[in-house]
Structure 1
């Protein structure tokens, strides 16, 4: 390992076969198929042109990771070769490669969050700043493209420096992993164009739904109603004052088509009849904006029904590829149905928000922490929704729990 100078920045160049922190290899959590996750040895990667080497701190597990772990696929995207999972991550720069762009200000030791979608930079969408729609996008830990790009559930990884974002000094390193799900929510809010005082419905109280609630509150929304099937998550949202009101839907088998429409109508009627909701004036006509964060067909239909005439529905959770939506009534009421796919140009603002304290104590969303060697346990707990002691899991983090 030798010191060099690149663009006036002190760097460390790691030669192939060299050690890092005294180690010659690293651990990575590799998914081979459904419920087949193996923590195995991998070579320590060397940063190439325009890249940095990162010592990974933690990775937050999300729904897409769980789909790959549980089914070996996420929708139609099937794992065709072993793939490292994870994409909500942060870490510390340990080396910089050659030929860095002149704009790079990174140095060894910087704490960074990793934006793991690699886009082409030349297509029409990239040129206008909507790179989340890039047709050539390759996303780490996604099986959409082949060969797959490994994700962040490893000890060390490399990443283009222009997709690394320095952390504010006020932000703890593990919490920076929340910048990825917060980016999704921030992108949705930018598309919603909410006015202060808006009344918002959030369907789904997982990590993304909770972040939608707290961002709505921080943005001046006076009413934020959270809906889920898990009472524990709803109680947490209320306890944190991220939701002004909560409502638990009944659990039941998933249905689709007209059966789902009927269930959605019943759910919307039950929500309107709830005593707490009835205390909010005007909600019988619907909400100023609805953030659908589940991807479940019944909830997606309920979202349309619960929207006020002239308002917007943000489809953040997209787990149902083909579904029946009550589009006729929505068109007659001029309800805008808006899709949300990942994010673009959000990371700096997401990190600033996390470091500002304006979102409240979002660190309490991280309910469970696991060392990398216990990644399979983390996935099994997330799959159940509770740990072995019966405690509700909201956002599990996996990785080096000592890095700060």
Structure 2
């Protein structure tokens, strides 16, 4: 769709808790080293939902109106001056955008671990101020070096999944697992589901998925990404000793379930546990479910002060590994999405909404179901004409 003669655009802006506004903003022009992109679609994730509901994500509070969204694909509509020709970017290219802008000069950036850059500015995150607007808008400009052409034939909605898949790839690399590993995935949001898919594609013989939403667990089994599932009972969020008691009960119930009992020796624990919720009781259950000498990957964002049952874990030499975003993953994530090795990941894009209906998308994500009772896996919001929806 041409932008010729168009000077304004629609953007979805969060002003605070349950204060989401559709606003008209000026269309930006690309500066040195930037490209202009018509955003086709943005996938909503848990952090977007936290900002929508609370005006904050953990300790990161919105201090000025913020355009949400960071999982996106789009089409280049203009190329600014001094864009490196080696990138091969041109008008009309379908692209995915890596949305963290690092400083490039700090110790971590120089070591290639730019996800740990203290000066990182991440689109739609309130961690830094002034905030950096996200992708829930019609048009954005972005550093060309963080824009990747998507493989031929890859759907733009799938390109938006490159961001959560990058988180999973980063976690998987830190786990350094071998084929045949037996894996537990706690939480089956988009990241957890993609972790299940990647585990199976990487040769894990046992992948058990745990969640409080049966619909998401059913989806994981329908896609053959999980060899077993277990639905935890819903309850209030608790902390400290209450969370520890809940974790012990949850692990005892999981250990006694068919998902574990059907695999010889699995009651002694998994080769790796990927905790993808950030819920304290789940984070506490994770090391309980890890076998001696194995690993726990903390992928979900948790609370600032967290009690973990480290005593038994330390004695069992269980490695507790933090995972924060990703680095050097985007080309591999896009290639993996295009390869077909993950199965029918297209099915994760379960619902589509226009920018004007973004608040409905947030509310459906919050409930986990749409008005017809269908499970919401990944809401996609944007210019639906660009993705043929």
Shift of 1:101: 2.7
In structure 2, stretches of 5+ residues that fail to align are none
In structure 1, stretches of 5+ residues that fail to align are 1-18
2:318 matched residue in structure 1: 335
Shift of 1:275: 2.4
Whether 1:36 and 2:23 are equivalent positions in the alignment is no
- Alignment partner of 1:236: what SS? helix
Q: Which residue of 47, 50, 67 corresponds with 1:64?
A: 47
Whether 1:397 and 2:387 are equivalent positions in the alignment is no
**Could you tell me the TM-score, scaled by structure 1's length?**
0.94
Q: Which digits, 9 at most, give the CA deviation of each residue in 1:9-43, with x for residues without a partner?
A: xxxxxxxxxx9244221100011111111111110
1:358 matched residue in structure 2: 341
Q: Which residue of 183, 200, 212 corresponds with 1:217?
A: 200
| In structure 2, distance between residues paired with 1:276 and 1:319 | 26
In the TM superposition, what are the counterparts of 1:5-404 in structure 2 within 5 Å?
A: 20-404=3-387
Q: Which digits, 9 at most, give the CA deviation of each residue in 1:302-342, with x for residues without a partner?
A: 10000011100000002322111011111100000000000
| In structure 2, distance between residues paired with 1:230 and 1:298 | 16
**Could you tell me the TM-score, scaled by structure 2's length?**
0.98
| In structure 2, distance between residues paired with 1:385 and 1:319 | 20
| In structure 1, distance between residues paired with 2:135 and 2:259 | 42
| In structure 1, distance between residues paired with 2:26 and 2:100 | 22
| In structure 2, distance between residues paired with 1:142 and 1:24 | 26
Deviates more, 1:257-266 or 1:161-170: 257-266
Shift of 1:102: 4.7
| In structure 1, distance between residues paired with 2:187 and 2:209 | 7
Shift of 1:401: 1.3
Q: Which digits, 9 at most, give the CA deviation of each residue in 1:191-224, with x for residues without a partner?
A: 0000100000000011110000000000000000
- Alignment partner of 1:20: what SS? coil
Deviates more, 1:258-267 or 1:290-299: 258-267
Task: Quickly say closer, same or farther: Cα 1:401–1:264, change in 2 above 3 A.
Answer: same
Q: How many residue pairs align between the two structures?
A: 386
Shift of 1:262: 1.4
- Alignment partner of 2:32: what SS? coil
| In structure 2, distance between residues paired with 1:185 and 1:128 | 21
| In structure 2, distance between residues paired with 1:76 and 1:254 | 17
| In structure 2, distance between residues paired with 1:71 and 1:206 | 19
| In structure 1, distance between residues paired with 2:259 and 2:115 | 39
Larger-Rg structure: 1
Shift of 1:170: 2.8
Shift of 1:385: 1.4
| In structure 2, distance between residues paired with 1:276 and 1:112 | 40
Maintained 8 Å contact 1:170/1:356: no
- Alignment partner of 2:384: what SS? coil
Q: Which digits, 9 at most, give the CA deviation of each residue in 1:61-101, with x for residues without a partner?
A: 00110011101111111111111000000100110111223
